[in-house]
Homo-oligomer: A and B are copies of this chain.
Amino acid sequence: MLGGIKRFLIGYPLPTYQLAERRLNKIRALASFSPDALSSIAYANQEIYLGLVVAGSAGLALSWPIGLAITGLMLLVALSYYQTVHAYTDGGGSYAVARENLGVLPGLLTAASLMLGYLLTAAVSLTAGVAAIASAYPSLWSYRVSLALVFLLIIALVNLRGAREAGTGMSVPVYLFVFTYLAMIVYGVAKALHEGPGAPTAAPPAMQPLTILLILHAFSAGCTALTGIESISNGVPIFKPPESKNAGQTLIVMALLMGVLFLGSLGLTNYLGVVAGPQETILSALARRLLGSGPAYVAVQVTTLLILVVAANTSFAGFPRLSAILAADGYMPRQLTALGDRLSLDNGILLLTAGTGGLIVVFGGDSHALIPLFAVGVFLAFTMSQVGMVVHWWRARTEGWAWKACINGIGALMTGMTVVIIGVSRFTDGAWIVIVLIPLSLGVFLPIRSHYRRVGQQLSLRGLAAPLRPVTALRVVVPVSGVHRGIVDALNFARTITPDVTAVYIELEPGAGERIRQEWSQRWPDIPLVIVPSPYRSIIRPLLDFLDETDAQHRDGQLSVVVLPELVPAKWWQGLLHNQTAWLLKAALLYSRRHLGFQRVIIDVPFHLQR
């Protein structure tokens, strides 16, 4: 039945040979990789507004120059990643660049910031999307966490169905968003030229003085407009060939769209003097100002919700891919490289879903609370990646390397300065969490790597004698719970493999052992039965002690083999009605490390109950 539900939700498994075909063309790839980048105008506008509105109309007047600075930074970073897409085609993106050019540790730090970034992209996008629709329908405001979680689960399911389906399903909202906002901006510009600038009287009074820190605060918050711009560089292999060319062109189109949408919406807000109410986003206020509160306005909000939900999907393209690359390098659990039924990286998808859900719940579904964490991680990864590119050009010395290194160098400088600005101005707002977590990630990556290395050494056959050496005389111990049908098969099997069989009964109730012994000696007089009293009513501990003592007495350098009779009930709920002693015993025997260098063989002889 569980299998049936899985089939219904995820679809039938696909064979491995279909893997090579599952590539995306540019239209689908833009839809798959750009939603985060494009939709980031939703929260970037909001953050700039929230950062400046406390300084009143004088503050809000600064949104235009801040927006221009951010757009300049955006184009610079885009240019830098355009170069990455052509230089690195395996999809590792910033991690591959930083690792190859700066070394393992900077690479891992970059990977950690990217992974945190993916988690935060999903969480911020979903919560901002829910805020967009709650601006239109304020009664939804108190259900923000639940709504965000529902959308998260839908995206996870769509991704578990496989990458191409994801690309298709996501295309519609992305292009709908692009055309809706472009149309609204064109209409807004025409209306603004016709009506002239908005009334400055609408602006709220200043609550704080317009300090440099306040301006830097607003700038750093607005830098979240750049998030998602790197995603294409992490997904080059999913493009149809020629991968680099297609990815590069898609990146340029995306960056231009980002710039137009960001500057357009910010400029109109500024020019028309739009301000937002308490439970409303600034983009919602702009749309309401231009379109009224009718169906056109609601359509814009729904479109904003949809692209933000789809934006969370960028993480579902990037996070599992990066996890798999890290896992292949041995820094993450290997299961993350496993392809699921639909050839998607299911374990990475599940990990991302759990992490994002946790962030949404912990931060109460409020994107504003998540932004400081988000911005630090993203810009740290930008900086590392671009410093890596500078080193790359310096080493490669290909045609025009100096010019290319110069572009990446300016990018690195600007994004590095932004990291410092964000880290300082938003430290106590939550940026500190990321600043602490990223170095700590090395405490995860490095022990995993050294574990796999040590396992490899221990599994090596080098120096081991080639011929197998079968054991000479097996000693078998059969723990029994009484004289009944369920142990007959186990005794038979034990007798099959050796004549040296001992049964052992752990006596929990005083006197029970004697009754068992009488029945036993009548039925199986040739198999010795040992009664071990257990005054503390534990089964496992006395049995382990008995095994150790027996082995110590024999001094043959061997451990007794345990043949376990196990009752297997017919239905799962019947398992709750039995003690599960066999299961506990197996776990105890398997993980008992009393005998370093020796392993105790456990033989499970099931007795299936029929009803």
Chain B: which residue is nearest A611 at the CB level? B454
Interface 9-mer from A231-239, A303-311, A593-601: A593-601
Interface 9-mer from A36-44, A373-381, A572-580: A572-580
B468 touches A492 (CB 8 A): yes
Please pick, from B470, B524, B604, the residue contacting A603 in the complex, using a CB distance under 8 A.
Answer: B604
Which residues of B lie under 8 Å from residue A609 when comparing CB positions? 454-455, 458
A468 touches B485 (CB 8 A): no
Tell me, yes or no, whether A514 is within 8 Å of chain B by CB: no
Tell me, yes or no, whether A536 is within 8 Å of chain B by CB: yes
Tell me, yes or no, whether A142 is within 8 Å of chain B by CB: no
Q: Number of contact residues on A: which range applies?
A: 35 or more
Interface 9-mer from A12-20, A156-164, A427-435: A12-20
Q: Given A510-B17, A593-B608, A604-B604, decide whether A474 and B459 contact each other with a Cβ distance below 8 A.
A: no
- What is the CA–CA distance of A459 and B538 in the complex, to the nearest angstrom? 24
Which residues of B lie under 8 Å from residue A590 when comparing CB positions? 566, 568, 604, 606
B468 touches A491 (CB 8 A): yes
**8 A Cβ contacts from A11-30 to B:** 13-17
Residues of A at under 8 Å CB distance from B? 13-17, 333-335, 338-339, 341, 448, 451-452, 454-455, 458-461, 464, 466, 468-471, 474, 483-486, 488-489, 491-493, 495-497, 508-510, 523-524, 535-538, 566-570, 574, 576-579, 586, 590-591, 593, 596-597, 599-611
Q: Which of A15, A341, A451, A567 has the most CB of B within 10 A?
A: A451
Distance (whole angstroms) from the CB of A516 to the closest CB of chain B: 13
Q: Given A16-B537, A339-B537, A586-B604, decide whether A485 and B458 contact each other with a Cβ distance below 8 A.
A: yes
B471 touches A13 (CB 8 A): no
Which residues of B lie under 8 Å from residue A606 when comparing CB positions? 590, 599-602
B610 touches A596 (CB 8 A): yes
Q: Given A474-B496, A577-B452, A601-B605, decide whether A484 and B469 contact each other with a Cβ distance below 8 A.
A: no
20 contacts between A and B (CB under 8 A): A15-B535, A16-B508, A16-B536, A334-B578, A458-B609, A458-B610, A459-B485, A461-B483, A461-B485, A461-B488, A464-B485, A464-B488, A468-B488, A468-B492, A469-B492, A470-B493, A566-B590, A586-B604, A596-B610, A599-B605
B596 touches A608 (CB 8 A): yes
- What is the CA–CA distance of A563 and B509 in the complex, to the nearest angstrom? 36
Which residues of B lie under 8 Å from residue A508 when comparing CB positions? 16
- What is the CA–CA distance of A172 and B538 in the complex, to the nearest angstrom? 34
Which residues of B lie under 8 Å from residue A452 when comparing CB positions? 577
B568 touches A591 (CB 8 A): yes
The 3 closest A-B pairs by CB, nearest first: A459-B484, A15-B535, A470-B496
A460 touches B489 (CB 8 A): no
Which residues of B lie under 8 Å from residue A483 when comparing CB positions? 461
- What is the CA–CA distance of A492 and B486 in the complex, to the nearest angstrom? 29
